[in-house]
Amino acid sequence: MTISLLFGVHAHQPVGNFPAVIDDAHIRSYGMFLRVMERYPAFRFSVHFSGWLLDVLLERFPDDMARLAAMTRRGQVEWFGSGDCEPVLAAIPHRDRVTQIATLSDKIERRFGMRPSGAWLTERVWESSVVTSLVATGIRYVAVDDYHFLCAGESQDRLDSFFSTDEDGRRLDLFPISEGARYRLPFSPAGEAVAWLEDLARQGRRAAIYFDDIEKFGIWPETYEWVFEKGWLTQFIEGVLASPLIRTETYADYHARERTRGIVYLPTTSYIEMNEWTLPASRAREYHALVESEKATGRFEAHKPFLRGGIWRNFMSRYSEANWMHKRMLGASRRLAALPAAQRAPEMQEWLHRSQANDAYWHGLFGGLYLPHLRRAIWNNLLQLEAALERLAPWPRQQQGDLDHDGHVETALRSPLLHAYVRDDGHAALVEFSSLALAHNFGDTLRAYPEAYHDKIRYGDAGARAAASGAGIASAHDRVAYLHTILHGDADPDERPRGLFLDSAIDANDMMRPLDGYVPGAEPGRWVAGGEGWRIEKRYALEDDTLSVTFRIEGARPPATIETEINLAMPSCDGFGGRYILADGSVPGGFGDPLRIEDTRSLTLDDSELRGSLRIEASLPVSCDACAHRTVSQSEAGFEKIMQAVCITLAWSPAGGAEQRITLRALPVAS
């Protein structure tokens, strides 16, 4: 009896990723993979390219895309669809799921002559609500992990073919991706992988179902040498084609000739590693310890379906920055949907789709929440959409409500050029300060969070898993490496959020007290706090391209000093494109350099990546301290230290009762 190898690869790069990264990925993985596969027409396989990446590759590497088109025409390749900009479908409204899926399917049909019947689910995030959206766009089947089926109570020995599910009377078929295949290909020797498939055939298994990241073939650490220079992919293909027990098929052909295994209803879940990443640090440690304990006793495989961890949406509760971005995106989606159809330009839909790209909303071994350029791409597209909406259907200039459902009211202040949001959580700080002209959110930073994987830095790699086979190479899940030097304290979490205008009072003995007890004043935009014998009023206002924050201190015993901390997301970060400019025009350094100046009234942050600048001015002289705010995170390549923001602290003495007025003015470069 032969076994069908259903072999699929998924290619994706985040919206806004650096062109050099995409070029490198194509050179080391996508292009190499396609050129090898082209030599073996009998090896049939399936592909999914996210739509944004596909557009880039069609423009930059047309010859390799022509190869892929030729392989499609000769029946070697089946295309899978999905959301065009790789959203987590469960995290966006039904109307946007439909437009995202239809956009990519149209693109594939137009460019490659095939309309997808199957779909890749981003990060294999399954919620039953996505069924109706997929079916409405012509999708008949998707591939998710076999772990999803185990969590539904299915036995491993039945997971060799597709099942069916339904929602609201709509049927969708589900293929269970083999974890055994995911961990073997391409990490174990090619001969061992082929022998494993042949053993499955001898056991009477119908299909070996594989669908995973193509980046494992050349981009993951050590894989370029292993897969291409040492010939793993060629050896695997030739071994499969030479085996009398294995035949390759597309998912479409297999689906057309086989019957469903039966009905199944999957729980809300993703792949098992993701379910650990979604947990808060303390719970993730407990979960990881439980998993390791089960492995040590040999019970893990039997109990794995019942050790589920969290769900993808937990990232919105773990990271307030992701939640804020997500809820702002949903608000823009509602506003776009409310426009008359005649006013909805195609670029508006494209901006919305790009603002829904999954990568910047989450974090684990992958996921780009910690990467400023990926968050910036979300905000860039979202704010371009909001600028267009502002011209057609302006929002109210002032608005209050709990926009992100966190229990705190946000006050929105808007002008035709700027949007500012203040959260009523005691800090009275800005959580967003966006320039529509620059399509940039200066408040797009990330606080330092505790992460369970920081234990590997503090205590060494005692808990890391070893590679499955000494003859192969280690998966990125099993490696511990360092891209940057991580010093003691670098991974310590922040005690306060990272916003704009976080205030503190310093008494005559240099004792600092955070001002985190602000309450709303008599009108929107005003907040009041204080201490024994004094009171502070803080007032925000917008006018054209300028935000002003006015501090008024009253009372017989004011603090010796008031400080306000302004965290600013600057696109150049600590690169060459960012620099400070003093009032006299001199340049003391870049954003990654520490800066200390006394008795100043102005500072300009000039940024070539932004194509603009931000000017800070104070009505009273201030001392100014600036430094880089960095976080420590993990990626598939190792631990890295990333600059998130410029942290500027302004301090002044409130003696005499004079008002201090600080302004921020966003200035695009004149074209």
User: Which residues does the annotation mark as catalytic?
Assistant: 123, 213
DSSP code string of 36-73? HHHT-TT--EEEEE-HHHHHHHHHH-HHHHHHHHHHHH
Pick the closest to residue 261 from 113, 154, 168, 357 (CA basis). 154
Pair 50, 90: CB distance under 8 Å:
no
Pick the closest to residue 17 from 44, 42, 52, 45 (CA basis). 52
- E strands, 118-267, are 118-120, 141-145, 163-167, 170-177, 207-213, 246-249
Long-range CB pairs of 101-108 (<8 Å, 24+ gap) are 101/133, 101/134, 101/137, 101/139, 102/137, 103/51, 103/349, 103/353, 104/50, 104/51, 104/54, 105/81, 105/137, 105/138, 107/51, 107/54, 107/55, 108/54, 108/79, 108/81
Pick the closest to residue 376 from 163, 67, 611, 148 (CA basis). 611
Residue 532: how many other CB atoms lie within 10 Å: 6
Distances (CA, A) of 23 to 109, 168, 381: 25, 43, 22
Block residue for tokens 């269970």: 176
Measured CA to CA, the distance from residue 122 to residue 115 in angstroms comes to 19
Pair 578, 591: CB distance under 8 Å:
yes
- Reading the block at residue 493, the tokens are 């979490």
- Reading the block at residue 426, the tokens are 């005691």
Distance from the first to the final alpha carbon of the chain: 69
Measured CA to CA, the distance from residue 173 to residue 139 in angstroms comes to 9
